[in-house]
């Protein structure tokens, strides 16, 4: 079956109601831009990691068919055979926006579009939605355009932005998990077997570590908080010397836990949590449980992780 008719070779096209207009007519520009947007959304749906996002994008694609069909008709009388955009679709977009934005951190400046493929495609689709909105505003200066269509296309661009932010956040969180898992596995290779290596912190170990830290603090005349956790991150000792800062009692166990969780000294994490680095956002994703400035150390015995410690001193 031939798909060509040759009727458009002279630069005109036919509306659903039969009128022939120029292919540069504002009506054609408007529904043509919606066609571009619909094609872009198919790429977004293929790239999206969130199944709910894919379902929503496919629903939006169907709605854009209704939208385009309405613009491609010169009749102002509704057709009983045709679906139309309504406030119900707008409410669904607003609900999707609220769900997506509840999952991401607030921004106070412009961002580069997309750190993952899905987000990049969604941001591109967002720009097409904005262009479609401009074409619709232009068309509305010549013909009657339902206000609900203006509201829908405006909300759609916001929705695509919100979905892009959520996809970016999910991808970044997944990357953090992969990076942490890789570091954990790399650090989990013992040099000796567990049968021949003592791996637990004994009471004597805890006493010796705490005593050594306190004695050193007394020599320096600097009050400290000493915190020690076992190999599972469970707090076993926290000792606060008189005059040590109260905030140190809160930070010390977190530092020791971080050293065990990441199997490294905490000062070595400061570079990898900076913007653009592999673990950027690690602290916020773990609700402040991870602390990445210096002071926490993993405790090893014969290549086996046995715990973590932190000595937080009062600055003078």
Put simply, whether the predicted model's pTM sits higher than 0.85 gets the answer: no
* Cα angle, residue 309 at apex, residues 305 and 314 outer, rounded to 5°: 165
C-alpha dist (Å) from residue 9 to 23, 165, 169, 209: 10, 43, 47, 86
How many percent of the chain have pLDDT more than 90? 37
- How many whole angstroms separate alpha carbon 134 and alpha carbon 171? 32
Looking up residue 162, the CATH number of its domain turns out to be 1.20.1200.10
Q: Which residue has the higher pLDDT, 239 or 227?
A: 227
pLDDT of residue 196: 45
194 pLDDT tier (thresholds 50, 70, 90):
very low
Beta carbons within 10 angstroms of residue 115's beta carbon: 17
Bridge partners (DSSP) listed for residue 186:
none
User: CB 299: neighbour CB atoms within 10 A?
Assistant: 20
Task: Tell me the C-alpha distance between 95 and 92, whole Å.
Answer: 5
Let me know whether 18 and 166 are in one domain.
Answer: yes
Q: Is residue 282 part of a domain?
A: yes
Range of 108-122, 190-204, 258-272 with top mean pLDDT: 108-122
pLDDT per residue over 43-71, tens digit each?
Answer: 999 999 999 999 999 999 999 999 999 99
On whether the CB atoms of residues 112 and 118 are closer than 8 A, the answer is: no
Query: In terms of domains, do 152 and 210 share one?
Result: no
Alpha carbon distance 218, 64 (integer Å): 73
- Per residue in 58-113, pLDDT (tens digit) is 999 999 999 999 999 877 777 778 899 999 999 999 999 999 999 888 887 777 87
> Is 101 domain-assigned?
yes
d(CA 158, CA 74): 29
* Residue 197 forms part of a structural domain: no
- Residue 2, domain member (yes or no): no
CATH, residue 240: 3.30.450.150
List strand residue ranges (DSSP E) for the chain, in order. 12-14, 20-22, 224-230, 235-240, 296-301, 304-313
> For residue 56, which of 128, 136, 155, 150 has the smallest C-alpha distance?
155
* Pair (111, 34) in one structural domain: yes
Q: Which residue range(s) make up the domain with 239? A: 203-313
> Is there a single domain that holds both residue 160 and residue 232?
no
Q: What percent of the chain has pLDDT over 70?
A: 86
Quote the tokens at residue 48. 């999206």
Q: Is-contact 233 260, C-beta < 8 A?
A: yes
Q: Backbone dihedral region of 12: left (phi > 0), alpha (psi from -120 to 50 degrees) or beta?
A: beta
Q: Convert the pLDDT of each residue in 132-182 to its tens digit.
A: 999 999 999 999 999 999 999 999 999 999 999 999 988 887 777 677 667
Output the pLDDT for position 165: 94
Strand partners, 307: 230, 299
Question: What pLDDT does residue 186 have?
Answer: 67
Runs of H (alpha helix) within 113-202 = 117-140, 147-187
Boundary-marking domain end, from 185, 219, 236: 185
Average pLDDT, the chain: 83
Closest CA to 110 of 165, 55, 187, 63: 165
Nearest residue to 33 via CA among 144, 142, 105, 132:
132
Looking at the fold, whether 37 and 179 belong to one and the same domain comes out as yes
Which residues pair with residue 240 across a beta bridge? 225
- Residue 22's DSSP bridge partners are 12
Q: What is the pLDDT of residue 316?
A: 47
Q: How many domains does the chain have?
A: 2
Q: Work out the angle between the directed axes of helices 26-47 and 51-71 (0-180°, nearest 10).
A: 170
């Amino acid at each position: 079956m031939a798909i060509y008719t040759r009727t458009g070779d002279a630069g005109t096209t036919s509306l659903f109601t039969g009128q022939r207009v120029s292919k540069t007519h504002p009506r054609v520009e408007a529904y043509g831009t919606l066609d571009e947007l619909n094609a872009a959304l198919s790429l977004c749906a293929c790239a999206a990691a969130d199944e709910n996002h894919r379902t929503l994008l496919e629903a939006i694609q169907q709605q854009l068919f209704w939208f385009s069909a309405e613009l491609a008709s010169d009749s102002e009388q509704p057709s009983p055979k045709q679906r139309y955009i309504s406030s119900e679709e707008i409410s669904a977009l607003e609900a999707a926006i609220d769900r997506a934005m509840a999952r991401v951190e607030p921004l106070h400046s412009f961002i580069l579009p997309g750190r993952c493929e899905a987000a990049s495609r969604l941001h591109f689709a967002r720009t097409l939605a904005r262009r479609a909105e401009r074409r619709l505003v232009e068309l509305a200066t010549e013909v009657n355009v339902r206000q609900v269509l203006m509201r829908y296309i405006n909300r759609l661009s916001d929705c695509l932005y919100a979905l892009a932010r959520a996809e970016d956040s999910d991808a970044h969180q997944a990357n953090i998990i992969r990076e942490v898992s890789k570091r954990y596995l790399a650090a989990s290779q013992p040099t000796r077997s567990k049968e021949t290596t003592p791996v637990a912190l004994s009471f004597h170990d805890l006493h010796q570590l705490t005593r050594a830290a306190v004695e050193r603090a007394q020599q320096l005349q600097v009050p400290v908080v000493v915190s020690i956790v076992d190999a599972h991150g469970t707090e076993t000792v926290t000792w606060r010397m008189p005059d040590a800062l109260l905030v140190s009692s809160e930070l010390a166990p977190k530092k020791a836990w971080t050293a065990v969780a990441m199997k490294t000294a905490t000062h070595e994490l400061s570079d990898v949590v900076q913007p653009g680095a592999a673990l950027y956002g690690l602290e916020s994703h773990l609700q402040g449980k991870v602390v990445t400035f210096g002071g926490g150390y993993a405790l090893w015995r014969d290549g086996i992780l046995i715990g973590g410690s932190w000595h937080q001193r009062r600055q003078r």
